[in-house]
Amino acid sequence: MFIIPKFKPVKSKKSIKRIAVLTSGGDAPGMNAAIRAVVRTTLAHGCEAFGVQRGYSGLLENLIHPMGASSVANIIQRGGTILRTSRCPEFMTRKGRKQAIELLERHGIDGLVVIGGDGSFRGASILVKESGIPVMGVPGTIDNDIPCTDDTIGFDTAVNTGIQLIDKIRDTASSHDRIFLVEVMGRHSGMIALHTGMGGGAETIVVPEVRTTVNSIVEAIERGVRRGKTSSIIVVAEGCQFGGATPLAKELTKRGYSPKLAILGHTQRGGSPSAHDRLLASTLGAVAVHSLLAGVKEGMVGVEGDYVHITSFKRISQKPAVLSQQLLEISRDLAV
């Protein structure tokens, strides 16, 4: 249950009339639900809504279009992003951003919602400073690696997808007495690995945040063997010290094991968003618009505990996202 802050819309000559939304960086399931929430909330408050195609690139290339209520119909259940997304190196230059600001001004956009990850928020923060246009961020990434929010849109779906795939792998692993290395996404973060591994009952979870050795992984396998286990599932974060599951498989092979590899890769990015992600995206997208209408100038709408709240982009850039050591310890105890 979300506890949502109450914002009072500011009514003045300067109040916001046109709000644009874009998705940037890696796509995540639930981004469409967030776009829908931004557009419908904007329209519900008597303002005009605009969609920017292809993230910050669309701001430079004038891919800015009005969006009506029906333009976001039938998308809440769809993965990916109807606005498409991109990585835009030009936006990292002052010249590129100047062009983007000119286009935003030409369209009369007086508020922007950026749905993306921490990179997108760094861009958003600079855009606010250089343009004076208020920008709210909505955390959309499967990695769940953004500080000041417990959750990001897409994470729950990615973890559920990973768990379903591990369940299938376990069926064959236990039938054939096999060791399976399952590589999951997450860039430099072990959040997806930890949650997928714990939910899938993995014997070992290898994350970038905690250094380990091949010896200790072998020990975990052997501990299982001594207890009569005939198969092992090892969940490996792509960003771990070994550089993913493939190099780790080579190390285990050198020590006489014959591990099988399953690289989940982009399967975890796709698919219909879970109920949780749809609710999260709908809530955060709506609150981003409420806060713009109430005169908030910048920041990310996140959720900590049950509380939806806003954190300035500066604070987000200063704080690291932390992996729960307690959860990691619990996962180790459960795998014994």
Q: Is 147 in the site for ligand ADP (CB under 6 A)?
A: no
Q: Per CB under 6 A, which region of 22-30, 104-112, 159-167, 212-220 contacts ligand ADP?
A: 22-30
Buried b (16+ CB within 10 A) or exposed e, 23-50: bbbbbbbbbbbbbbbbbbbbbebebbbb
**Nearest Cα to 120, choosing from 141, 99, 142?**
141
Residue showing the smallest CB distance to ligand ADP in the complex: 119
143 labelled catalytic = yes
Task: For residue 122, state whether it binds ligand ADP (rule: CB under 6 A).
Answer: yes
Residue 257 to residues 231, 248, 253, 299, Cα–Cα distance (Å): 12, 11, 5, 50
Contact 131, 101 (CB under 8 A): yes
Which amino acid makes up residue 31?
Answer: M
Radius of gyration of the chain (CA): 22
CB atoms within 10 A of CB 176: 11
Measured between alpha carbons, how far is 85 from 233 in angstroms, rounded to an integer? Answer: 34
Q: Which residue out of 110, 143, 145, 277 is catalytically annotated?
A: 143
**Among positions 56, 180, 242, 313, the unique one binding ligand ADP when judged by CB under 6 A:** 56
Q: Which amino acid is at 193?
A: A
User: With binding defined as CB under 6 A, does residue 131 bind ligand ADP?
Assistant: no
Q: Does residue 24 belong to the site contacting ligand ADP (CB under 6 A)?
A: yes
Q: Which stretch binds ligand ADP (CB under 6 A): 35-43, 74-82, 117-125, 300-308?
A: 117-125
Q: Which is closer to ligand ADP, CB of 114 or CB of 308?
A: 114
- Binding to ligand ADP by residue 117, rule CB under 6 A? yes
Q: Binding of ligand ADP at residue 209 (CB under 6 A)?
A: no
Residue 80 found at the interface with ligand ADP (CB under 6 A): no
Smallest Cα–Cα separation from 104: which of 127, 77, 72, 74?
127
Q: Is 25 in the site for ligand ADP (CB under 6 A)?
A: yes
DSSP letter assigned to residue 305: T
Q: Are 289 and 45 in contact (CB under 8 A)?
A: yes
- Among 20, 35, 38, 88, the residue binding ligand ADP under the rule CB under 6 A is 88
SS3 call for 294: coil
Binding part of the chain for ligand ADP, among 38-46, 61-69, 83-91, 234-242 by CB under 6 A, reads 83-91
For ligand ADP, the binding residue among 30, 51, 58, 116 (CB under 6 A) is 116
Nearer to ligand ADP, 211 or 314 (CB): 314
d(CA 239, CA 257): 23
Q: Does 136 bind ligand ADP (CB under 6 A)?
A: no
Q: Is 30 in the site for ligand ADP (CB under 6 A)?
A: no
Instruction: Name the segment binding ligand ADP (CB under 6 A); options: 18-26, 40-48, 217-225, 265-273.
Output: 18-26
Active site residues: 143
Q: Which residues bind ligand ADP (CB under 6 A)?
A: 24-26, 56, 87-88, 91-92, 116-120, 122-123, 126, 141
